[in-house]
């Protein structure tokens, strides 16, 4: 029973997450959310406290989902870089049109909350830092595997990856540039071995 509730709670968060990711925090009204998750305001506020509370859970869940997506690609790839490349290609090319937004929800959050002392801005920074150290581990593994040379640290590769990935997703958040995606991803991974 406890598991049942947990399951449904996770489901609600996932649905809310999609809506928040697509429309952003401010442009998503509580009535939009009520309809999307099929709950009345009282239930939502009993479960999450506030719109901000539900957004917090949504953003946390987003990063969990993203990590587990990467894990998936890693486990069916023969190298760390191969897995990351498959992930990037999937995000930028394949799921481009069946995704709430081309832009990473973390990046969107980071740019939406201009008040640098607000809870949600702070949360977005924390989650981004967490994700960066996750990536750092992966790149350290790639260095150890000999996939990348060790002139850069894992953290430096992680930073490079984030800048490229964010830049690419921003660039492809517009129409009529689909054919450029694959060559630009190739360039990104080529450059990474150049560093």
51 binds DNA (CB under 7 A): yes
Residues 33-92 that bind its own copies (CB under 8 A): none
31 binds DNA (CB under 7 A): yes
Query: What is the contact mask toward DNA in residues 1 to 20, using x (rule: CB under 7 A)?
Result: x---x---------------
156: left (phi over 0), alpha (psi -120 to 50) or beta: alpha
Report how far residue 130's alpha carbon sits from residue 117's, in angstroms, rounded to the nearest whole number.
Answer: 19
Report how far residue 136's alpha carbon sits from residue 33's, in angstroms, rounded to the nearest whole number.
Answer: 35
Span near its own copies by CB under 8 A; candidates 9-17, 44-52, 73-81, 156-164: 156-164
Residues 88-127 that bind its own copies (CB under 8 A): 100-101, 103, 107-108, 110-112, 114, 116, 125
Query: What is the contact mask toward DNA in residues 52 to 91, using x (rule: CB under 7 A)?
Result: x---------------------------------------
Nearer to DNA, 23 or 159 (CB): 23
Which residue, among 9, 19, 21, has the nearest Cα to 91 in the 3D structure? 21
Contact predicate 192/160, CB 8 Å: yes
Which residue, among 9, 55, 62, 65, has the nearest Cα to 32 in the 3D structure? 55
CB of 43 to its own copies, least distance (A): 26
119 binds DNA (CB under 7 A): no
Contact predicate 61/124, CB 8 Å: no
CB of 11 to DNA, least distance (A): 12
Residue bearing tokens 């590769």? 157
Residue 131 burial (CB count, 10 A) = 18
Binding site for DNA (CB under 7 A): 1, 5, 28-32, 39-43, 45-47, 50-52
């Amino acid at each position: 029973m406890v598991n049942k509730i947990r399951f449904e709670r996770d489901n609600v968060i996932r649905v809310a997450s999609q809506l928040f990711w697509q429309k952003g925090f401010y442009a998503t009204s509580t009535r939009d959310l009520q309809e999307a998750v099929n709950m009345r305001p009282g239930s939502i506020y009993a479960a999450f406290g506030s719109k901000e509370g539900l957004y917090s859970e949504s953003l946390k869940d987003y990063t969990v989902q993203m990590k587990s997506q990467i894990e998936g690609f890693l486990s069916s790839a023969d190298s760390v870089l191969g897995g990351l490349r498959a992930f990037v290609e999937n995000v930028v090319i394949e799921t481009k049109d069946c995704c709430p937004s081309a832009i990473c929800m973390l990046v969107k959050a980071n740019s939406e909350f201009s008040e640098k002392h607000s809870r949600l801005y702070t949360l977005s920074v924390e989650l981004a830092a967490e994700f960066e150290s996750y990536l750092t581990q992966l790149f350290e593994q790639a260095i150890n595997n000999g996939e990348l040379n060790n002139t850069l640290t894992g953290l430096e590769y992680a930073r490079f990856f984030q800048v490229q990935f964010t830049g690419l997703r921003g660039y492809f958040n517009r129409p009529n540039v689909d054919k450029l995606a694959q060559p630009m991803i190739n360039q990104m991974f080529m450059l990474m071995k150049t560093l």
